[in-house]
Amino acid sequence: MVWAMPVSAVLFDLDETLFNRSASLRDFVADQFSTKWHCDHIDFNAVVDRFLELDARGRLHKMEVYGTLLAELGLADSDVAKEMFFDYETRAWRFARAFDGAAELLSWLTREGVRFGIVSNGQTHIQLRSILALNLDRLTDVYLISEQEKCRKPDPEIFRRAADRLGISTGQCVFVGDSPEADMFGARSVGMKTVWFPNGAAWPTSYLWQPDATVSSLFEAREVIANWITN
């Protein structure tokens, strides 16, 4: 495929792309259950695994996650669920950590003069807390969050807005993300180059096309982007 316009900006998904959401959530839940509950009969590793399973990458509201998990543990209590949820809302951001290579990639883009931003689905206050906890607000040129924008990936509109705010065309953008549908399909639909960071996920068999590049780390993503910038 011949690309008429050079790459001049990179857009990133947040959760499971720059922000290692699963690892951060695992650390928080392990801390929460081990420090707030002193129950010798609870297998905390199993509890953390089940929490992440119920959470389904954020698709189930945390109150439902806590309610279901507590019931399965024989500790069904709406007040406890509310307390645990409040603790999550209050403290989880402190456990936020980026993927290896994220800081290096963003620093390199800055040195190269390549603008970059974030496009994330989710609630504004939650996503913004993650952005602030990782100090991404000091680095990124723009960040768009679906609740605030009133449109969600893969809606082409949110990708167009991101490019507009960077002052470039969509054809000059690379999009890096983990979701085949929300990230890769959405970015591809507006003519962006796509870098898939799957984190062990499989490409949907129903998709008869492939992303422009697939990487196993953000270090590898840097190499791909560097090649596109210079060629």
Which CATH architecture describes the domain 9-20+98-230? 3-Layer(aba) Sandwich (3.40)
pLDDT tens by residue, 4-35: 578 999 999 999 999 999 999 999 999 998 88
Confidence of residue 39 (pLDDT cuts 50, 70, 90): low
- State the pTM of this model: 0.91
For the segment 123-139, what is each residue's pLDDT rounded down to a tens digit? Answer: 999 999 999 999 999 98
Question: Among 136, 177, 133, 144, which Cα is nearest to 13's?
Answer: 177
How far out from the chain centre does Cα 80 lie?
Answer: 29
- The span from the CA of 92 to the CA of 105, in Å, is 25
